[in-house]
Amino acid sequence: MFTIENQATGNCFTIQEGETILNGAMNNGFGFPYGCRNGFCGKCKATLIEGEVDYAEGNPPGLTAEEIADNMILPCKCQAKSNLSIVVTELESVADIEVKTLPCKVSQIEHLNADVAKVVLKIPGSESLQYLAGQYIDLIHPDFEPRAFSIANAPHNSGVIELHVRLISGGKFTNFVFNEMQEKSLVKMEGPKGSFYLRESSDKPMIMVAGGTGFGPVKAMVEHAIESGSKRDIHVYWGVRSEQDLYMTLPSEWAKTHDNISFTPVLSLPDESWEGRTGYVHEVILADFDTLTNYEVYACGPPEMVRSAANTFAKKGMFENNFFNDSFDFAYQASNE
């Protein structure tokens, strides 16, 4: 096991012998830049200040002889042979990330409940998609207008993209996904997009407010925080209509295994057997916190939920620049689906 220090940021992490530096950075939640991840494009270039590295397949084509002589390395392909000090610019905002159009294959379609499906897309091995936890992609199919879907997995395996797709009544695209799309079929994606992403430089406690499939990007954010070893308090609230709409058990598992994570499901139309919280999710949060002054709030879901959270949370001390949101406007525009 070796320690890698990025002198540009002061961030340190450890990697296993035989693991590439880029994989080690991603597994520890650090936003090292990359492109092809195959040693060709050179977008992950870093400067080696101290230590020794090796390339299992020989020097990669993405580095010239002059760059190698100047101690430039490609973290996507090189492995540490000792503790390392390097210099690389880590990604901190969406402006640093390239938007790509990529082909992909549907590798899995799993129905999580009556109207939500998990769709897993596999990007070809020669490509990859770098994104921040919380962002979305446009899914492109020749028979439909592009549709935006939040990425529901953390950016640690950029060759796989998980989407949570809700079946919309009268929605042509979502009906296609549920009733016609087949595993191994081909589609395109364009992304990443959006300014809804986890602000990792902050140390403020977080309140995650999800409505329906707004849980998808919240899942990506929480998974990323866990993977990166964040100790910030995370309060996850998931508002749905009925208990069957809680289509994943992950939030309960997070709360059981991580002391800094709590989970509160909220049902607006519960049956008599439900013993948990009821009503509108933003009202439950208002009841649980005396003040929201020191919190960051991430809200994702139907527009009315997001608007209600923004307006009422501000009255309880939440600063506007601590509120981040992604409004799922399609929930009110099914005729355009």
Q: Exposure of 160 by Cβ count < 10 A (0-12 exposed, 13-18 middle, 19+ buried)?
A: middle
Q: Are 173 and 147 in contact (CB under 8 A)?
A: yes
pLDDT in tens, 24-36: 888 787 888 887 7
Name the token pair of 252: 């309960």
User: Which stretches of 187-257 are DSSP H helices?
Assistant: 215-227, 250-257
Beta bridge partners of 265: 238
Q: Architecture of domain 206-332 in CATH?
A: 3-Layer(aba) Sandwich (3.40)
DSSP state of 113: S
Beta bridge partners of 234: 206, 261
**What number of other Cβ atoms are within 10 A of residue 248's Cβ?**
17
Model pTM score: 0.80
What is the structure's pLDDT at 333? 37
- The CATH superfamily assigned to 95-193 is Translation factors (2.40.30.10)
Domain 2-87 bears CATH identifier 3.10.20.30: yes
Which residues have C-beta within 8 Å of that of residue 10, sequence separation ≥ 6?
Answer: none
Domains 2-87 and 95-193 are alike in CATH topology? no
Question: Rounded distance, CA 202 to CA 234, Å?
Answer: 13
Segments in the chain below pLDDT 50: 330-337
Q: What 3-state DSSP class applies to 259? A: coil
pLDDT in tens, 110-130: 999 999 999 999 998 778 888
Q: Are 32 and 90 in contact (CB under 8 A)?
A: yes
Q: Could you check whether the bond before residue 33 is cis, i.e. omega within 30 degrees of 0? A: no
What is the structure's pLDDT at 330? 44
Which residues have C-beta within 8 Å of that of residue 194, sequence separation ≥ 6?
Answer: 94, 134, 135, 136, 326
The domain limits of the chain are 2-87, 95-193, 206-332
Beta bridge partners of 84: 4
Name the token pair of 68: 């190698």
